[in-house]
A and B are shown apart, each in its own frame.
Chain A
């Protein structure tokens, strides 16, 4: 079964179909989009069963010729890391579609919006998200990486909140800077590979084999690494390339923001693991201190700024910058324990922040404002919503028992074994996390009821059935994976091990990872 290509093609066709649903039949468009995304989820589950965790590094491979002159092929294959991230995307998209069910209906000022286009854009985004993780051809990866910008740009620009134009353009330009630098590096890599291998190819396996055999000279490695890293660091985003994220996350509609921060940003950290480390091992080691420093600054700076935010969505966006610092440290600590933790964190962060954005979306839709000051004491009227909000918040600050805890813990102990100072400084981020999450929760849900809320009727409606269906799977997964992360770890670990071998790190299998199930 050609799982991967189907998982790219089906949402793409779904997007086209949805886009051509007449404007006055928004319901049809929504249902088509939901069905398509559920079909993709079913396919993903089937693919996960077809994946052999103990098998080869890249599995479910497919390859079709595209532009033979350049050696470009439609090549898809996944390792454990890509598989879990595809799973995350396939899970989040139907939930986001369901959670955004009414978001596109009007723009809050009575203006009409094109509902079918909104859902078509989400499906198009899903196709590119799965494609970017599934590609095993460097140029194909780049193509998905760039095309991904277009649907997200329109989601933010056409359906976002205040300052959406500014946010959309900023998002696009920042990503494009990174993308173009990566393009230069891809070209350099391609020319080097062509001269080294004797034929034009973008095949990931061939290029990694060449790189591992020392086929990319040291100086060139550094430049190419920087090209790729720039793109990934902007995407992730790492300090100091992060300024687009609060704007984009704050202006995007909640569903799109959940996908933006939950999945799109993971492309950056995924790219570092999949492309930077195996293809440029020496350069990766050379630049690791810089990357760790940036990550560390990101953890603390993102957390501090999160504490100071007055806007719910921007606050969540800043927490992500802090969390991405953890992921970055885990990757560049070069221990398989920390790297495993990082990958696990990518998934868990997607679940936790995805849930947080979705719940914030529910709140914002009810209140008609993103400003924290417009809430206050809302919890009493909304017991269920505030409960889910609390769970999402706890997951975000990595409370033991929620899934992000396991990953953050793995990153920290893995890093501690390598560099104590970094681990200790990073741990400060966990303290700040408690501050920004608890304070946010307190200001919105607890205390006396904000008098301004008294007249807002929707603020008295607790979660509807649709909303319950959206949050239930995420809450269950966050807790289940917090208690029993083994299924994910089993899939992730072999891929991480191979990556560590690529950069010449061979530490013993992480004992804490297998023993951390408590």
Chain B
């Protein structure tokens, strides 16, 4: 009998995640022990402070390349960069989550489970919002951080669940329009559960093939294993379905518009920025580390997924009449561009990460602005309601127009630099066909963005044009940051390009 060996644990490398997980637990205790009236004022600084501490730990780890706790966690350049990106984008989206000036009690209700329109549900619409959202957000962010540095598929699965479950719940907490919020939560949960099952089944088959679940182990087994390659192919396919679901790639994207529309807008922003970063962080790691040597087999399939995602996302975005659904389909199309990065393997890891950061900030800014357009019913997200806002709110409309031009990839915005970086590395990796589909679909995608610009500026205001609320300092900062980073990365992206270049490739040893 062998003694069970305790694996070596490098606490320094794990510190960022330990900090965030730890503070999430503290947040739960705060919910239990701090009086209701104080909770918000304790939770908000605690959450932001925890994330800042996590960010400092990430920065302190820079340069670390290590595989620890028995191969469960691999901390490397891209992993650290993605962790840092998730934390930064998470801090920014907290600005929206913590905003309490736009709506009495904040954008969330206390209990998701009240049946919509029941008496209890109506009562809580007028009550203080929940502060559980803060620890839930922290758990989600910590899970995402772990997801990006998982060294084996089981850790990855655990991380996937850790960041998904809080998100399912957060989706159902919208203060207004409770019914579609609950629908969003249920839909996301059911489909997410399916995707998790696929993922797990894939892990099982891959274990059968390789005899291990570690990414590097699978990489080695691909060259040596005597098992049937069908096991590998089937396992890879099922695993990919689980991952592509989170990444919102076609044909696993159907949940995206409903969930993005129904979820409270701050949570939508969080998902569009951070979940996207985590999902693609995981995809990039899995395909670059475990399956790089079998690239010939899966590249055509993923390339087809990328093409489908770009086309379906951009074409369906054209038909949308709700700004949140429009941004949801735009996020699907952007997932397609990022898939181009995944297909292009190592050459495109850096530019994919650049894209994630650039897109994250723009999309946070855009959703922050969506929270401002309101009428008595809450946010007015139907596009027809946005007509003529430029007349009364020129600064708001100018900022939104700038973000839209950014999404459309017009130069001097981060949308252009990130597309250029991504597509040029894809061309370098001989994926020029994908590049051409990419640029053409981005023309299609430009149409809905232009449609919004036309609505804002060129259409006469409707009978009951909603007002643009004066943003509180928090939302204001999120918008300012989103716009500023979109401009900064469009004009002077060098420092971030250096940063992603320094991150180097994934650790595949």
Contacts and interface: CB of A to CB of B under 8 A. Distances in A.
A67 B494 contact: yes
Interface in B455-480: 457-459
A188 B410 contact: no
Contact of B457 (A150, A158, A187): A158
B411 A143 contact: yes
A184 B423 contact: yes
Nearest to A181: B439
A68 B494 contact: yes
Contacts of B439: 180-181, 183-184
B457 A157 contact: yes
B166 interface: no
B412 interface: yes
A147 B411 contact: yes
Given A177-B443, A184-B435, A165 B454 contact: yes
Interface in B422-470: 423-424, 427-428, 432, 435-436, 438-440, 442-443, 446-447, 450-451, 454, 457-459
B493 interface: yes
Contact of A173 (B419, B420, B440, B446): B446
Nearest to B432: A188
Contacts of B446: 172-173, 176
Interface in A184-217: 184, 187-188, 190-191, 194
B206 interface: no
Given A147-B411, A188-B427, A173 B450 contact: yes
Report the interface size class on chain B: 35 or more
Contacts of A3: none
Given A180-B439, A180-B440, A183-B420, A169 B410 contact: no
Contacts of B494: 67-69
B498 interface: yes
Contacts of B409: 180
A51 interface: no
A157 B452 CA distance: 13
Nearest to B446: A176
A191 to B, nearest CB: 5
Interface string A156-169: 01100000110011
B424 A191 contact: yes
Contacts of B501: 69
B497 interface: yes
A1 B201 CA distance: 69
Interface string A109-153: 000000000000000000000000000000100110011011000
B457 A184 contact: no
A173 B424 contact: no
A67 B497 contact: yes
A150 B453 CA distance: 11
B443 to A, nearest CB: 5
Contacts of A149: 410
B210 interface: no
A300 to B, nearest CB: 30
A154 interface: yes
Interface in A432-482: none
Contacts of A173: 443, 446-447, 450
A473 B417 CA distance: 42
A146 B413 CA distance: 12
A187 B440 CA distance: 14
Contacts of A150: 405, 410
A147 B447 CA distance: 16
A147 B450 contact: no
Given A176-B443, A177-B443, A157 B427 contact: no
Given A143-B412, A149-B410, A177-B443, A187 B424 contact: yes
B408 interface: yes
B442 to A, nearest CB: 6
Nearest to B402: A150
Contact of A146 (B410, B427, B459, B497): B410
Nearest to B490: A143
B313 to A, nearest CB: 16
Contacts of B440: 177, 180-181
Q: Which of A142, A147, A164 counts the most chain B CB atoms within 10 A?
A: A147
Contacts of B435: 184, 187-188
Nearest to A157: B458
Q: Which of B411, B417, B454 counts the most chain A CB atoms within 10 A?
A: B411
Q: Which of B424, B435, B451 counts the most chain A CB atoms within 10 A?
A: B424
B69 to A, nearest CB: 36
Given A67-B493, A176-B408, A169 B454 contact: yes
A180 B432 contact: no
Contacts of A176: 408, 443, 446
A497 B24 CA distance: 71
B427 A165 contact: no
B314 to A, nearest CB: 12
Contacts of A190: 424
A69 B501 CA distance: 10
Contacts of B442: 180
A163 to B, nearest CB: 11
Contact of A147 (B412, B417, B428, B498): B412
A353 to B, nearest CB: 26
Contacts of B493: 67
A183 B417 CA distance: 11
A188 B428 CA distance: 8
B438 to A, nearest CB: 8
Contacts of B447: 169, 173
A168 B457 CA distance: 12
Contact of B458 (A146, A147, A168): A168
Interface in B132-163: none
Nearest to A69: B497
Contacts of A146: 410-411, 416
A187 B438 CA distance: 12
Contacts of B432: 184, 188
B443 A187 contact: no
A35 to B, nearest CB: 25
Nearest to B491: A66
B410 A187 contact: no
Contacts of B451: 169
B145 to A, nearest CB: 27
Contact of A164 (B419, B436, B458, B498): B458
A247 to B, nearest CB: 15
Contact of A142 (B411, B436, B457, B497): B411
A149 B405 CA distance: 11
A499 to B, nearest CB: 26
Contact of B436 (A69, A169, A184): A184
Nearest to A143: B411
5 nearest A-B residue pairs (beta carbon): A180-B439, A143-B411, A69-B497, A184-B439, A187-B424
30 contacts: A69-B494, A69-B501, A70-B424, A70-B497, A139-B420, A146-B410, A147-B411, A147-B412, A165-B454, A165-B459, A169-B447, A169-B451, A172-B446, A172-B450, A173-B450, A177-B440, A180-B409, A180-B440, A180-B442, A181-B436, A183-B419, A184-B432, A184-B436, A184-B439, A187-B423, A187-B435, A188-B427, A190-B424, A191-B427, A194-B428
Given A147-B412, A180-B409, 17 more contacts: A69-B497, A69-B498, A154-B457, A157-B454, A164-B458, A165-B459, A173-B446, A173-B447, A176-B443, A177-B443, A183-B419, A183-B439, A184-B423, A184-B435, A184-B436, A188-B435, A191-B424
